[in-house]
Structure 1
Amino acid sequence: MPQALSDAEAAQLLKSLTLPPLPQSLAEFRRAKAAGADLADMSDLIGRDLSLAAAVLKIANSPAFASRQLNNLQDAVMVLGADNLDMVVTSVTLKNAIPLAPILRAFWDDATQIAAIASHLARRWNLIKPEQAYLFCLFRDCGIPVLTQRFPAYIATLARAMEDPANFIRIEMDSRSTSHVVVGYLLARSWFMPSAMNEAILHHHDFDQLGDDELLEPESARLITLARLAEYLLFSRLRRDADPHWPHIQAAILAELGFDISLMSELTEVATDALK
């Protein structure tokens, strides 16, 4: 079970890793938001980056937001609002900051679909802020491409760990003396993400901690379980892939979220709607 890192421990680990720095576009956006910039100013700022502008328009025109076709960036910014804009800017800059090895070519596509499902579940059942659920799903496993970029041989470790999800972190630690949860935690912390999200990244394989508020903050537990449920719905219910670990953690996850197994069909329908 990973423990929260002290500043000294984090500094020591960072000596052996090269983490993507906080992108300038994200830093500028956060400064503008903190300074109380209005949506028109935010629109001008986003318009300087074509990839950001395209992402904002795409999200604003998605079924979750659009009541009409939006072709103007300012209209899209108005529809989304500041918190959803923060989600879009952070997610786009994260994806751009971490190049993927060819073997991980589907990594961001899968993470984005899981994020879409989690945010829809969060909104439908008022579980947590949807934008927080979305961002957590993107950051949750971001340590994997970082480790792959730094240590190409990590791909073999990853393959072994994926075959034995209950021992995923132990396999990583035995091979590399660190793990994707630690690296993801360090990256999120260096990007000044919320503390509950950082804790959730560090502990998102620790399902035995669920339900113990002294070991895991309730908000972190909610993020962890919501993302794992979204992952199960995507891969097992929609893609029909096997998830041998799910039977061992299903009860704890559903209990944490206040769900009953009888809801599974409705949860699957929400997941399907999220990907339209």
Structure 2
Amino acid sequence: MTVPVEPGVASPPVPTMQIADHPWLRPDDLAIPMLPAQAHRVLQLVADPDVTITRLASVVSKDPVLATRVLGMANSALYGAMSPLRSVSDAVVRLGTRTVRNVVVTVSMHSQVKSPEVYGQEGARFMEHAIGTAYVAHMVAERAREDVDEAFLCGLLHDLGKLVILRTAHDYQQKHKIVIRGNELQAALTDHHATCGALALQFWNVPPDVCEIVRHHHAFEQAGDPQAAAVCYAANLLSHRYGFGCLPDGDAVLEDAVFAYLKLDAEWMARADVRAPGLFSAARQALG
């Protein structure tokens, strides 16, 4: 597997899920984005129920970009900040450890898409859609009484496989001096991004339940926890409806059975229509 790993970060076992149809899209040759060492460490720490605020803040503080974004989020309108915080430790207290994890993953993903020769305009659109879906997933999870922090992370990462496919296609074309046809690339993005995303998350050692939801975010009934996967599925539909990182799909998506499955009625939807764009705007501002 063609995966650059930060020095000092142990490589986890290569995942075993299979993909097909495209000779350039083989599991052993996927160009999985590199997770920065500090972000990898944050994921490890937050998975430890005994992690201390001091330890987590110390790791975040070692990366100026991460520290700035965590402070920015803690001081944003999203968290009703009345007085500005100036220390990362205080920011971790205000946000909570899992929200800090989600901010760190967001920043790490944002750094990956800043390669116009690889992603073109898709990079910026990808991040907007990821952030929008994450915040909508948080809202849907509140209603469905699911884990809101996990829902946010799944919404954020649900299309990670598209980055993997675009980078893999770019590297293959550079190496073999060929051009992959646009319709073939689009078919790979449509058909295999969920599997490729789950492969990448397994390699990052993201919790298995998150990998499972990302793998099945277009077919929530097949997931081990259909309710949690349905939250991600519905959030993705709503993010498309609102036009977060894409052209708005409009109200047609509301005909999907998932909204009845999660009991997202007209009253909830009306509140979401007001709340979601505001959250999206505030998050974009806080995350730079």
TM-score for the superposition, normalised by structure 2: 0.72
Q: How many residues align?
A: 249
**Is 2:135 the partner of 1:116?**
yes
Deviation sequence 1:222-248 (CA, Å, 0-9, x none) = 33333224313421xx8994527x636
**1:75–1:154 distance in 2 versus 1, CA, 3 Å:** farther
Contact 2:151 2:232 in 1 (8 A): no
Separation (CA, whole Å) in 1 of partners of 2:211 and 2:144: 21
| Other-structure match for 2:198 | 185
| Other-structure match for 2:211 | 198
| Other-structure match for 1:166 | none
**1:39–1:144 distance in 2 versus 1, CA, 3 Å:** same
Separation (CA, whole Å) in 1 of partners of 2:56 and 2:40: 13
Overall identity of the aligned pairs, in %: 21
Separation (CA, whole Å) in 2 of partners of 1:262 and 1:54: 38
Separation (CA, whole Å) in 1 of partners of 2:246 and 2:192: 28
User: Which runs of 5 or more structure 2 residues have no equivalent in the other structure?
Assistant: 1-13, 20-24, 171-178, 283-288
Contact 1:147 1:154 in 2 (8 A): no
- Letter matched to residue 251 of structure 1: D
Partner of 2:77, secondary structure, is coil
Q: CA deviation at 1:70?
A: 2.1
Residue among 61, 64, 67 paired with 1:50:
64
Separation (CA, whole Å) in 1 of partners of 2:76 and 2:181: 35
- Letter matched to residue 149 of structure 1: R
Separation (CA, whole Å) in 1 of partners of 2:184 and 2:249: 16
**1:88–1:158 distance in 2 versus 1, CA, 3 Å:** farther
Q: CA deviation at 1:10?
A: 5.1
**1:191–1:248 distance in 2 versus 1, CA, 3 Å:** same
| Other-structure match for 1:270 | 275
| Other-structure match for 2:148 | 130
**1:215–1:30 distance in 2 versus 1, CA, 3 Å:** closer
Separation (CA, whole Å) in 2 of partners of 1:67 and 1:8: 45
Partner of 1:19, secondary structure, is coil
Separation (CA, whole Å) in 2 of partners of 1:240 and 1:118: 17
Residue among 137, 143, 148 paired with 2:161:
143
- Letter matched to residue 230 of structure 2: R
Separation (CA, whole Å) in 1 of partners of 2:37 and 2:81: 32
Residue among 238, 252, 261 paired with 1:230:
238
Deviation sequence 1:41-80 (CA, Å, 0-9, x none) = 2212111101111111121122332332223322111111
Q: CA deviation at 1:21?
A: 4.1
Deviation sequence 1:240-260 (CA, Å, 0-9, x none) = 94527x636733120221112
**1:154–1:81 distance in 2 versus 1, CA, 3 Å:** farther
**Is 2:188 the partner of 1:172?**
yes
Residues 55-66 of structure 1: pairs in structure 2 closer than 5 A: 55-66=69-80
Q: CA deviation at 1:92?
A: 2.1
| Other-structure match for 1:243 | 249
**Is 2:274 the partner of 1:260?**
no
Separation (CA, whole Å) in 2 of partners of 1:194 and 1:239: 26
| Larger RCO of the pair (alpha carbons < 8 Å, separation 6+) | 2
**1:155–1:49 distance in 2 versus 1, CA, 3 Å:** farther
